[in-house]
A and B are shown apart, each in its own frame.
Chain A
Amino acid sequence: MSAQSVRTDTPGALISRRRGWMSRLPRGWPLLTLYLAIIGVFVVAGIFADWIAPHDPTDQTLVNRLQGPVWQEDGAYEHILGTDGLGRDTFSRLIKGSQTSLLVIATVIPGSLVLGTAVGLLAGWRRGAFDSFAMRLVEVQLAFPALLFALLIAAMLGPSLRNVIVILIVFLWAPYARLVRAEALSLREREFVVAARTLGASDLRVMTRHLLPNVVNSVVILATLNVSTVIIAEASLSFLGAGAGPETISWGKMVSEGRDLLKIRFWLTGFPGITIMIVALVGNLLGDWLRDFLDPQLRNVQ
């Protein structure tokens, strides 16, 4: 395939021979910049929530309850996105809620990634009994109705963010393990791995120095695509009352709180719903972009 026949809407690792720094940017960079900007806003809002939020997100002023967003007749710039049934500022609660989502993402994704990758490497490299056991476990996990079990566990231990994080790690390590194992199985027959083995490299060295660098791309792609899974899972659990604890502000809980007022104040469910969707969407788009970028073979397929 010549460089000209590559679709222009997909980014590529190919650096064109044209001169100038613009040509060194990856394909699709304007969109990529947009995705990164949105993710950046989300991350900054999450980390600095307490400084950015214009109001205390738990501050109840009943005089101002159920104000509409600023573009509606009863709206005011004081509360840009309006207030909820207890007079709390929706915009500040959204910002504080991003902290919750960010915390869950920043713990669940590295946790499940490390666990799954370690199991996958070991299973694919060592084969044998550990491999069989690990893969049966993966099959069972992938076949479980995860939400149902998350509900049960939340009922057992009480709703708390820590439980949500543990539950999500336990349910999300399996896809990493399966992916890494499959790649390790094909890598272990490759010459450079056989050569390393022949030179007397230890199991640990082969796995970390030879196998790991070759599975990193796939793992990073999967992790990025997992952002939406984690956000939606946390929101769903919180929506059902099995997620974030009573004192934690979460987008899923905001949707659930606004549910009773759906008929008169749609925006109370609308804003958190749209926010969840935008972050999940950008996560997926970024994952797609990364896959095209890191794995050009798949470019024509996806």
Chain B
Amino acid sequence: MAAHLIPRVLQSIAVVFVVVSLVFVGSRLIGDPIEAYSARNATQEAIDAARDRLGLLDPMIVQYGNFLWGVLRLDFGDSIFSEQPAWDEVSSRLWATVQLSLAAFVLILAVGVPIGVLAAIKRGSIPDLLARLLALVGQAMPNFWLGLLLIFVFAVQLGWLPTSGRGGFDNLIMPAITLAGFGAAATMRLTRSGMLEVLSNDYIRTARAKGLANRTVIVRHALRNALLGLVTVLGIMLAQLLAGSIIVEVVFAWPGVGRLIFRSISLRDFPVIQVGVLVIAVWFVAINVLVDLSYNILDPRIRVGSGA
């Protein structure tokens, strides 16, 4: 296992390094933050002093070196906008985003998998048809529009839920549904097709032939194998949720990392952008590594070292 793990982790660190470097270059290219902030009548001396304070007068390579050294110490400098440490700005909002992503992930599992299984077992029936329709609509619905639709129906018309912000459990419901929508539809579809594929295998016929209860065949023999194929997809989905939360956080004014990054991009607040992207990139590759590992553990046919 370790022999498989080490190159995978090294590769992941390399990916994070590339992402962070790209963001460093990118956030310098979006424009000079001082120009965006300084008053119209600011003197040249004041502007230079501000640039000096932020280290913007150093050669690019020195800035890059300082930046990488800062990454290692989790010191990313201060936010230009709020003048608080950039790391604190991000970490104080991280829990809100993780909470939203996990809630959406639970929804995806709780809705997508059971409906997909049910649709496969009752293939061709009315419930199957409805499930497929739901999956099709869910995959065609842009999440910002799903969010606005929910706000209109449940907040504006019915007045059951608050339109935006974070607070109690009722604040979480609509953002979580919005974030989960696409993933739940995709999971439903993949579970259904995975189950159908597994159910056509010979060992399922054998299990039925030896007189096992239908329930046992479905749960013990079919579902377990169908879920195996889903692990990778679900892992990628969990990783995408954190990054995908940007739109949902903007629509629902959810005070998380996504909305912070969105705001910081328009404010040219590059220390905060860098930390935010770094956090999301680390989350991304960490989940990818975990998915790889779990796949190795779950499926004895794929032995460590063989293939990907």
Q: Chain A residues in contact with chain B, CB under 8 A?
A: 7, 9, 140, 143-149, 151-153, 155-156, 228, 232, 235-236, 239-240, 252, 255-256, 259, 262-263, 266, 269-270, 273, 276-278, 280-281, 283-285, 300-302
Contacts and interface: CB of A to CB of B under 8 A. Distances in A.
Given A7-B124, A147-B243, A153-B26, A140 B18 contact: yes
Interface of B is mostly: helix
A252 B240 CA distance: 21
Given A144-B19, A151-B265, A235 B29 contact: no
| Closest A-B pairs by Cβ, 4 of them | A145-B243, A273-B145, A281-B140, A280-B140
B152 interface: yes
A273 B149 contact: yes
B151 interface: yes
A215 to B, nearest CB: 21
Contact of B244 (A147, A151, A262): A147
B246 A300 contact: no
Contacts of B173: none
B197 interface: yes
Nearest to A288: B136
Given A7-B124, A140-B15, A269 B145 contact: yes
B191 interface: no
Nearest to A225: B139
A79 B244 CA distance: 36
Nearest to B156: A263
A7 B124 CA distance: 9
Interface string B3-29: 000000000000100110011001101
Given A145-B284, A277-B141, A301-B196, A255 B148 contact: yes
B136 A255 contact: no
Contacts of A228: 139-140
Contacts of B136: 281, 284-285
Contacts of A262: 148, 151-152, 156
B130 interface: no
B124 to A, nearest CB: 7
Interface of B: 15, 18-19, 22-23, 26-27, 29-30, 124, 136-137, 139-145, 148-149, 151-152, 156, 193, 196-197, 200, 239-240, 242-244, 246-247, 250, 261-262, 265-266, 268, 273, 277, 280-281, 284-285, 288
A255 B26 contact: no
B15 A155 contact: no
Contact of B266 (A155, A239, A266, A273): A155
B302 to A, nearest CB: 17
Contact of A301 (B137, B193, B285): B193
Contacts of B23: 152
B247 A284 contact: no
B21 to A, nearest CB: 13
B137 A143 contact: no
A262 B19 CA distance: 37
25 contacts: A147-B244, A147-B246, A147-B247, A148-B246, A148-B280, A149-B26, A151-B265, A152-B27, A152-B30, A155-B266, A228-B140, A232-B140, A235-B142, A236-B247, A239-B144, A252-B144, A255-B148, A270-B149, A277-B137, A277-B141, A280-B141, A281-B136, A281-B140, A284-B139, A300-B196
Contact of B262 (A7, A151, A266): A151
A273 B141 CA distance: 8
Contact of A236 (B142, B193, B266): B142
Contacts of B152: 262, 266, 269
Contacts of B139: 228, 280, 284
